[in-house]
Chain A
């Protein structure tokens, strides 16, 4: 192909220098990468560095700050609201991830059967994931209403299991569990459909072989399904942990960190301190405090990818 590229100007001498320039490989590579890398450098890499710098300054909105070392982090360390937000984030990520993956894997296994209307079913199940999170969060807000909650109505007036309406969002612990439930609800479709794709790549021959060797259903799941699903599971898990850890929308929409700052995640606290509060430096410090966790998740993903490149198939280079 390089021969063709070099030979052409002699056969078609009327081509202008511009055309030749755009066919010159190093120039073309540069031009092709420019828009993507340019946007990413200006609006992603630079802000990332700027954010780390801001975390060490006392910048406020409308006033550029000076370098103050670790002061932001020190004051955060003694800030009970921040410590609560860290625990909330860990609890939220941990419990929601377990919930999403337990239920998502179950749903994927159910969908992997021969079912009527399978594609319609799959389409319906993905809907919670397609719809804007904030908008479904508003629906949850209404579902969790203290006076008109439909869950309370069912529990109290239909089933008679409780005497009083549940106060979902009025006190810290119920509010946390309500948020986790909403997050699990939103996360199940993604996990289920991704894992279903993984399940469908497992050859039925493996199950037949296992059955011939006398493996029961649990053993087949444990020794065939799970190992074969591991690569995709690792990647979906990484993404899910990453996005749950940095979640903002659900909490902001349903509780805004309340009651009395007890349900703040690190992201919502960073927003509250940084944008409406105007303490850009402190907000950035909270955001930067998330980075160590994200780096761990990313490394995990990288090694999982390096080991099994499920996404690209076997002809990976």
Chain B
């Protein structure tokens, strides 16, 4: 079929057809499109396959490539996951991460909604500059803040507590969420709010009953994104938390599951895999929101 399609067509016509609208068919499309695309997908996803397959391998297979095909597992075992869940503090770490991420997200969303509303709807002198300042705050990376923040956290007596993370995560969540919501509020016609206010609603009622329901997709985008960012956060959690049982999953897997020089790769991979699953599930439900928030093109 591919030969029939490619062969009878004169060269000139074929060349004219090779636009974005219609790629040339057959073998050429395979070489230029499907082959590189499959390589990309395989390379991008292989580490996760490798993680999963390592997590369910028994130790005998794991360290013996001569007699076993390393790409497959003959007798899968739940030993590693079992060990992780019942012989370490892993459930505790999951719970901590979940709590911190949820509370930090809620706090950031609350602050961002109000800030975005003030900047975009309650136009005031200098509101653009406040918006710009918040945008600039997004460009300040945690890597240059964690040392002074550590001294600050220590002074406040928050060292080694969940509150330290809950209060510091909004520094990178608020700028992002506010920026996203400003863009979203802009897409909602102001007339709707005016109508409500003419009918006697106060501004906060308008925000609560008119603007927020309309901005729900934007809120979801900002929320799941903020949750993912807090779940993945590493450097603050590493610097501000000391006790093993209070650590978050990313930090704990790296610091608590590695004992000396003997790496228990099976349980390490199981830990990494389980720690990725919550965000992966969230992601699978809200793919489009992720893409929307990432590209900033939240307008439908």
Contact = CB atoms under 8 A, between A and B. Distances in A.
Nearest to B118: A32
Interface in A7-27: 8, 11-12, 19, 22-23, 25-26
A142 interface: yes
Contacts of B297: 197, 311
Interface residues of A, number: 111
B21 interface: yes
A106 interface: yes
A205 to B, nearest CB: 11
Contact of A130 (B41, B151, B194, B228): B228
B234 interface: yes
B151 A139 contact: no
Given A39-B111, A135-B276, A185-B43, A110 B33 contact: yes
Interface string A123-156: 1111110111111101110110100101001000
A1 B198 contact: yes
B70 A143 contact: no
Contacts of B234: 132-134, 248-249, 252
* Most A C-beta atoms less than 10 A away, residue of B70, B254, B269: B254
B283 A130 contact: yes
A40 B40 CA distance: 39
Interface string B122-165: 10100010100010110111111111111110000000000000
B86 interface: no
Contacts of B149: 43, 47
Contacts of A243: 141
A33 interface: yes
B283 A54 contact: no
A227 interface: no
A85 to B, nearest CB: 12
Contacts of B299: 313
A68 B47 CA distance: 48
Interface string B246-258: 0001110110000
B65 A142 contact: no
Contacts of A46: 152
Contacts of B48: 127-128, 131, 136, 139
A257 interface: no
Given A148-B65, A197-B297, A290-B143, A36 B112 contact: yes
B239 interface: yes
Contact of B144 (A127, A153, A204, A288): A288
A267 interface: yes
Interface stretch (A69-77, A94-102, A187-195): A187-195
A127 B280 contact: yes
Interface stretch (B1-9, B87-95, B167-175, B209-217): B167-175
A260 interface: no
A66 B250 CA distance: 36
B186 interface: yes
Given A133-B234, A150-B71, A294-B141, 5 more contacts: A1-B198, A125-B44, A134-B251, A142-B51, A294-B144
Interface of A: 1, 4-5, 8, 11-12, 19, 22-23, 25-26, 28-29, 31-37, 39-40, 43-48, 50-51, 54, 59, 103, 106-107, 110-115, 119, 121-128, 130-136, 138-140, 142-143, 145, 148, 150, 153, 157, 185, 188-190, 193-194, 197-198, 204, 207-208, 211, 217, 220, 242-243, 246-249, 252-253, 266-267, 270-271, 274-275, 280, 283-284, 287-288, 290-291, 294, 297-298, 301, 311-313, 315, 317
18 contacts: A4-B198, A23-B202, A25-B203, A35-B107, A35-B110, A40-B137, A111-B37, A124-B45, A130-B283, A134-B250, A139-B269, A208-B19, A211-B16, A246-B142, A248-B235, A274-B147, A288-B144, A311-B296
- A-B CB proximity, top 5 nearest: A32-B118, A36-B115, A197-B295, A35-B111, A51-B148
